[in-house]
Amino acid sequence: MGSDRRAAAAARLLTRVFTALDVPLTFRLWDNRVTRVGARGESAFAIVVRSPAVLRRLLRKPTPARFGEAFIGSDIDIDGDLFAAMSAGNHVEHLRLPLRTRLAVLGRTLWL
């Protein structure tokens, strides 16, 4: 799958995973594609994802700890307000995905 198709698939997955989030999140993917998810409004930061493999790991289990590990390992970056990103992480921690969504995301991450 080409990079453009992977990024488009990634954007759809991000929307599906974070649609119920009560804060806005912005992701910038490896091809510079910007995807806004969660609540309406502008996010004070963007999560910069460096590769499909990184996003695959994050989407399989989207927890603040996984995002923190990816940040420390330089697999992702935070562009903007780091404190706002940490606050949003608390919201991500309380996000509960239905089993059907989790299974669909797991299956689709195989193609990223």
Convert the pLDDT of each residue in 39-67 to its tens digit: 899 999 999 999 999 998 888 877 778 88
Average pLDDT, the chain: 85
Contact 38, 23 (CB under 8 A): yes
Query: Angle at the Cα of 90 (from 67 to 17), degrees rounded to 5?
Result: 60
pLDDT of 17 reads 85
What is the C-alpha to C-alpha distance for residues 56 and 63, in angstroms, rounded to an integer? 13
Pairing of strands 24-28, 45-49: parallel
CATH for 3-102? 3.30.1050
Confidence band for 75, pLDDT divided at 50, 70 and 90:
very high
pLDDT of 110 reads 61
Region 7-36: what's the mean pLDDT? 91
What is residue 61's DSSP assignment? S
